[in-house]
Amino acid sequence: MSVFWLFVIAGALLFLQGRLFRHLAAKSVDYARSFSKPAAFTGSTIEMVEVLSNRSRLPIPWLRVQSRIPAALIFGAGSMQEISGKMYHRSFFYLSPRSRVTRRHTVTLSKRGLYRVSSVSLTGGDLFGFGNCEKAIDINALVYSYPKLISDRELPLPCSRFMGDMLVRRFIMPDPYMVSGARAYRAGDSPREINWALSAKTGELQVKTHDCSADPKMLVVLNVQLSEHQWDALDEKQLESIEMGVSIAASICLTAIDKGAEAGFCANTTLETDETPAFIAPARSEEQKRLILETLARLTLRMRLNFYAYLEAIEIPDGTTDMLVLSCVDSEKIETEIQKIRSRGINVMLHELKGGKNDA
CA distance 39 to 62: 33
Long-range pairs for 272-278: beta carbons < 8 A, 24 or more residues apart:
272/113, 272/114, 272/298, 272/299, 272/300, 273/114, 273/298, 275/300, 277/304, 278/222
**pTM for the full model?**
0.79
Question: What is the pLDDT averaged over residues 64-68?
Answer: 88
Name which residue leads in pLDDT, 161 or 222.
222
β-pairing, 320-327 vs 217-222, is parallel
Q: What is the pLDDT of residue 360?
A: 42
Q: Residue 327: which residues within 8 A CB-CB, separation 6 or more?
A: 222, 223, 225, 245, 307, 334, 350, 351, 352, 353, 356
Domains in the chain (CATH in brackets) are 25-146 (2.60.40.10), 157-170+215-352 (3.40.50), 175-212 (no CATH)
**CA distances to 99, 242, 306, 331 from 312, in Å:** 62, 21, 10, 14
Name which residue leads in pLDDT, 357 or 349.
349
Number of helical H runs and strand E runs in the chain? 7, 17
Name which residue leads in pLDDT, 119 or 132.
119
Going by C-alpha positions, the residue among 154, 328, 333 that lies closest to residue 251 is 154
Residues 106-117: pLDDT tens digits? 999 999 999 998
By the 10 Å C-beta count (0-12 exposed, 13-18 middle, 19+ buried), 124 is classed as buried
Q: Return the half-sphere exposure (C-beta side, CA atoms, 13 A cut-off) of residue 201.
A: 9
Backbone angles phi, psi at 82, to 5 degrees: -95, 125
Q: What is the pLDDT of residue 174?
A: 56
Q: What is the pLDDT of residue 22?
A: 59
- Cα 120 to chain centroid distance, Å, stands at 24
> What is the sign of the dihedral through the CA atoms of 284, 287, 288 and 293?
positive
Question: What is the pLDDT averaged over residues 64-72?
Answer: 89
What is the end-to-end Cα distance of the chain in Å, rounded?
Answer: 93
Mean pLDDT of all residues belonging to the chain: 83
Question: What is the pLDDT averaged over residues 207-211?
Answer: 64
Please say whether the beta carbons of 102 and 32 come within 8 A: no
Residues 127-159: pLDDT tens digits? 655 556 677 888 889 999 999 999 888 888 888
Which element (helix H / strand E) includes 324?
A: strand 320-327
CA distance 350 to 291: 24
Q: What is the pLDDT of residue 63?
A: 82
Residue 310 CB neighbour total at 10 angstroms: 22
Q: What is the pLDDT of residue 93?
A: 85
* Strongest mean pLDDT among 33-37, 64-68, 120-124, 165-169: 33-37
Going by C-alpha positions, the residue among 117, 124, 67, 63 that lies closest to residue 90 is 67
Residue 103 forms beta bridges with which residues? 50
Instruction: Point out the least confidently predicted range of 60-74, 206-220, 224-238.
Output: 206-220
> What is the sign of the dihedral through the CA atoms of 129, 131, 136 and 139?
negative
* Strongest mean pLDDT among 28-37, 38-47, 98-107, 115-124: 38-47
- pLDDT tier for residue 180 given thresholds of 50, 70 and 90: low
Backbone angles phi, psi at 132, to 5 degrees: -65, 145
CA distance 321 to 6: 90
Residues 256-309: pLDDT tens digits? 998 888 999 999 999 987 788 999 999 999 999 999 999 999 999 988 889 999
Please say whether the beta carbons of 55 and 33 come within 8 A: no
Q: What is the pLDDT of residue 332?
A: 92
